[in-house]
Amino acid sequence: MRVLLVEDDEPVAESLTRGLGRYGFEVEWVRTGAAALLAEPSDLVLVDLGLPDMDGLDVCRELRARGDVPIIVISARADETDRVVGLEIGADDYVSKPFGVREVVARIRAVMRRARPALAQPEPTQSSTLSIDRRARRVYVAGAEMALTPKEYDLLAFLAEAPGAVFTREQIMEAVWDTNWFGPTKTLDVHVGALRRKLGESVAVETVRGVGFRLTLS
């Protein structure tokens, strides 16, 4: 799914682009309203209100006049008036800064369920040993359902988005515990250990020394 990100704050844009990419979204990042209006069509638009060349509300208004692409406003403006105006001119949702990547992903999926149901559904993870029903948040190993805690599920589901790929500890913490996590990463080791005990030998969460973890399927 292709997302157009209209954001002039480089750290915010880079974090969102990186985070959304890990959830399978293809992100095109532009810094100005003018660039947004010239961009190729996308499946959804994330637009900041505080752009350097024009008000983000004007970008929303113009995009809505052109078609029905879903629009989510992301802004540091928490004033109720901005929220109301944004929604009234055609935005589908409004997210206030600061926010975490998981919140934005949840908002995207909620909007897309209403606007483009076929695009909103995450791809199922299935192999001969592991099956993840993401809608029901259920995990099956060799046909048997595993009882996982919410965070154990989130961790496994994230690693299973790219079996065999190595994710750093920081990437996992950002995706599973969100960007606002500032504590030690020891909790990650605890959850990895719990997953290993529950999954057995058919599904392995491997440690890549000095880097992070990867999921391998037999």
The predicted-structure confidence for 192-203, as pLDDT tens digits, reads as follows 999 999 988 878
Position of tokens 């592991």?
Answer: 130
- Sorted by where each begins, the domain ranges of the chain are 2-120, 125-217
* Architecture in CATH for domain 125-217: Orthogonal Bundle (1.10)
Burial status of residue 155 (CB atoms within 10 A of its CB: 0-12, 13-18, 19 or more): buried
Instruction: With 0.75 as the threshold, say if the pTM is over it.
Output: no
102 versus 44: the higher-pLDDT residue is 44
H helices of 77-217, where? 80-88, 101-115, 117-120, 150-159, 169-176, 186-199
| Mean residue pLDDT across the chain | 85
Position of tokens 């100005």?
Answer: 32
Position of tokens 């005990």?
Answer: 197
Q: Which CATH number fits domain 2-120: 3.20.20.30, 3.40.50.2300, 3.40.50.1480, 3.40.1350.10?
A: 3.40.50.2300
- Mean pLDDT over 20-37 rounds to 91
Q: Quick check: 198 and 147 in contact, CB under 8 A?
A: yes
